[in-house]
Amino acid sequence: MKIFKIMILGFLAGSFSAKAQNYTNVPNGLQLSTKDMLVKIQFYGPEVVRIVKYPLGKTFNKESLSVIQTPVKTSFSTAQNGNQLTLKTKQLTVAVSLTSGKVSFSAPNNTQLLAEKEQGASFTPFDDAGNKTFTVRQTFVLDKDEAIYGLGQQQHGKMVQRNLSLNMVQGNTDDYVPFFQSIKGYGLFWDNYSPTQFKDNQEGTFFSSDVGDGIDYYFMYGKNADGVIAKMRELTGQVPMFPLWTYGFFQSKERYKSQDELVGVVEKYRDLNVPLDGIIQDWQYWGNNYLWNAMEFLNVEFPDPKRMVNEIHQLNAHALISIWSSFGPKTKQYHDLDSINALFNFNTWPQSGSEKWPPNRDYPSGVRVYDAYNPKARDIYWNYLDKGLRSVGIDGWWMDSTEPDHLDFKPSDLDNQTFLGSFRKVRNAYPLMTVGGVYKHQRELDNAKRVFILTRSAFAGQQRYGANTWSGDVTASWAALRNQISAGLNFSLTGIPYWNSDIGGFFLNNFKRKLDDPEYRELYVRWLQFGTFCPMMRSHGADAPREIYQFGKKGDRAYDAIEKYINLRYTLLPYIYSTSWDVTANQSSMMRALMMDFPADKNVLDINDEYMFGKSILVSPVTSAMYTQVSGSGANTVKKEDFSELKAKETYLPAGTAWFDFWTGEKLEGGAKTSKETPLDMLPLYVKAGSIMPLGPRVQYATEKKWDSLEIRIYPGANGNFVLYEDENDNYNYEKGAYSTISFSWDDLKHTLTVHDRKGFFKGMLDSRKFNIVLVSGADTSGTGTKKEIQINYTGKKKSVKF
């Protein structure tokens, strides 16, 4: 068979044709026609390619809401062999059938990564509120045992996202991102915002979206999970830094009913010497439901909000406040938004003007969701937020119901017109638009204070908007706690690194005695231990308050365990903040599924109850009751605490490295399970050999003490590196280079730690400091880890320490 080869610079325009074929150059790619559709292949870089398909005779013009990267000039070659056309960069090969339009992707060594199914593209005519368009679908063929991850956050407890069917419409506890990545080192982003079906079974794997003028997806080859995430962020946006204080502990509840109560919680934590950095005010500070989300303190129990915030600041804490995506009919925002036709007509929360439960439908609230797709509506939203809440000193935004709440759903609700077309067409991108509106407006006004947003929903690209997503109003149970782990890990694997859950679960429907239920107290402690190792540590919920003093006093098991882990969180701040810099600067992730760091160990691919926090600490949350004795059933159920027998949890330690028990220093071999006794205050934690871990001082809030005397723990057994990152803690000067890094490297053969020259400078930077270097040397004959310590003075110049 005769083969035609032509070298092409992808950024050149032009056209050519081969005998009996029809394909032309487009910028950075090629376009071809089959008998019934047009296929466009466009490189965004050597490892990333966009595939667009649409019916012949139609047009496809789309400006992505998620993708912000412009195509990078990319050199590629083409070759034709019969009816197959191959486009090849240095990192990726794309083959397309000139007859069927089927596309496949291969690595540089010609190993096939992914292929579309033959005749796998379909376009079904669809009337979208008067707009003649299509329901679009593309089916792919995965290897039989290929593990894939991502797709956002679901509550089903699955780590590997195979053999399932998802109806991808944003909800309270499910955040959908139509992106998955494979253990084979590639990722696929389906760039569509309408209600979408994802399905994987023995017949294939497909995305099918209700509305689309064409099929539009991006394939990226990153070689490993971190590489795929890096490519996804290059496409959809990089991650800004959060302030240091946001990595401290947050207390919240549904809801503090006065400003005195809110400030009093902070005062109580300070009196108890328990660390706290954030206090959060939930809804109804605005008054009744007709004033829903007025963004003003109209409730008489909040008479002087500026004084309230000042008192919180004087206690060295920060205030977040609840804001919503909807407005009551008596608010100023409602009037202004209605005047530009920027309010939707479907039922949302709250359903009644009365605050009593259940809702009295005879008095509907009249609350309506605003059109966040409309730039003028986003301006109105911000202007009231700025004037009503930012002006009194609020430090961050708790954006609730960003999916948004859609009650009593009717298909015709999706006919509501937005600034960008029907609500159906752009439904799933709502959180991206409303969160992005707040971030962009605040950045335009203020570079002295970093944006911090807590949001209930997310979509592809939201990592660029300074937002931390929480898992919604989950109901407290042991199953729910376990499901949070895989939910957070798969969410992170879509490229959005900041995630958390309501510590203790939001609703306590399963625990009629609330905090008097010993099983719930045990669950809360275990959830808080898990929360210690999430990007945000936040206690929140309805039905019962969750402040530490609600669980007893010092000397009580639950209280002491809670205090222990809040203090541990603060000890780890240098490690956590440096990890956050790795996320921003190097496209890393904070919560890391085990497959990210140990892809060669097949035992870890589907583990859903362990993960890495940063690249050093393996976290193994306890997700079952151990110390609650249950007798009877139904209304006669009796629960009692029973600590007479010490229980244990089994943890798999990935192969390819040794591990150290964080608590004892005991050295363990990887590739096997280990059992750890787990009294109520014990969470199994293991540190990877070769890790270098900075530990900070005991503090009451994140910035109380400078890091002038840090403990630097070395876990030997492999070479290791760590970069300690520092900056001014809460502004954007780091974007201009105002930060410093100190690199540590461990030579395991020479048993030598090198502290390299400090790089960079920022205002207030320490000129000199002490490092207490601790070598964790494994278990001695008693089974307890031993340590060797050397203290050095460091003035920014290279120093080496030999053990």
pLDDT, tens digit, 9 for 90 and up, residues 320-338: 999 999 999 999 999 999 9
Return the residue matching tokens 């030999």. Answer: 802
Distance CA 199, CA 223 (A): 25
547 is catalytic: no
Task: Note the pLDDT of residue 8.
Answer: 34
Distance CA 172, CA 195 (A): 15
CA dihedral over 264, 268, 273, 278, signed as positive or negative: negative
Question: What is the architecture, at CATH level 2, of domain 283-465?
Answer: Alpha-Beta Barrel (3.20)
Three-point CA angle 287, 173, 609, nearest 5°: 135
400 is catalytic: yes
pLDDT at residue 7 above 90? no
DSSP state letters, 269-315: HHHHT----EEEE-S-TT-SGGGTT-SS--STT-S-HHHHHHHHHHT
Task: Note the pLDDT of residue 357.
Answer: 83
Three-point CA angle 699, 702, 704, nearest 5°: 55
pLDDT at residue 466 above 60? yes
Q: Which of 208, 193, 184, 198 is nearest to 120 (CA)?
A: 208
Whether residue 507 contacts residue 475, with contact meaning beta carbons closer than 8 Å, is answered with yes
Whether residue 135 contacts residue 211, with contact meaning beta carbons closer than 8 Å, is answered with yes
pLDDT, mean over the chain: 95
Element (H, E) at 259: helix 259-272
Mean pLDDT of 555-577: 98
Query: Catalytic one among 47, 234, 311, 400?
Result: 400
Indicate the CATH number for domain 3-221. Answer: 2.60.40.1760
pLDDT, tens digit, 9 for 90 and up, residues 629-648: 999 998 899 999 999 999 99
Task: Note the pLDDT of residue 356.
Answer: 82
Whether residue 546 contacts residue 524, with contact meaning beta carbons closer than 8 Å, is answered with yes
Share of the chain above pLDDT 70, in %: 96
Give this prediction's pTM.
0.96
Distance CA 244, CA 206 (A): 41
Whether residue 229 contacts residue 587, with contact meaning beta carbons closer than 8 Å, is answered with yes
Mean pLDDT of 438-447: 96
Residues of the chain with CATH 2.60.40.1180: 628-802
Report residue 11's pLDDT band, with 50, 70 and 90 as the boundaries: very low
711 is catalytic: no
Task: Note the pLDDT of residue 89.
Answer: 98
Q: Is 465 helix (H, G, I), strand (E, B) or coil?
A: helix
Report residue 586's pLDDT band, with 50, 70 and 90 as the boundaries: very high
pLDDT, tens digit, 9 for 90 and up, residues 240-280: 999 999 999 999 999 999 999 999 999 999 999 999 999 99
Mean pLDDT of 686-694: 98
pLDDT, tens digit, 9 for 90 and up, residues 86-116: 999 999 999 999 999 999 999 999 999 999 9
DSSP letter at 622?
A: -
CATH topology of domain 628-802: Immunoglobulin-like (2.60.40)
pLDDT at residue 605 above 50? yes
CA dihedral over 299, 301, 304, 310, signed as positive or negative: negative
Task: Note the pLDDT of residue 779.
Answer: 66
pLDDT, tens digit, 9 for 90 and up, residues 385-418: 999 999 999 999 999 999 999 999 999 999 999 9
Paired residues of 538 in beta bridges: 250
Q: Is 743 helix (H, G, I), strand (E, B) or coil?
A: strand
Residues of the chain with CATH 2.60.40.1760: 3-221
Cα-based torsion angle of the residue sequence 440, 446, 450, 451 in order, rounded to the nearest 10 degrees: -30
pLDDT, tens digit, 9 for 90 and up, residues 166-222: 999 999 999 999 999 999 999 999 999 999 999 999 999 999 999 999 999 999 999
Query: Catalytic one among 446, 473, 641, 681?
Result: 473
DSSP state letters, 127-149: EETTEEEEEEEEEEE--TT--EE
Report residue 777's pLDDT band, with 50, 70 and 90 as the boundaries: confident
Mean pLDDT of 608-617: 98
CA dihedral over 270, 271, 274, 279, signed as positive or negative: negative
Report residue 785's pLDDT band, with 50, 70 and 90 as the boundaries: low
Query: Catalytic one among 403, 519, 601, 730?
Result: 403
Three-point CA angle 484, 485, 490, nearest 5°: 100
Residues of the chain with CATH 3.20.20.80: 283-465
Report residue 1's pLDDT band, with 50, 70 and 90 as the boundaries: very low
Q: Which of 413, 541, 388, 419 is nearest to 475 (CA)?
A: 541
DSSP state letters, 21-64: --EEEETTEEEEE-SSEEEEEEEEETTEEEEEEEETT-------
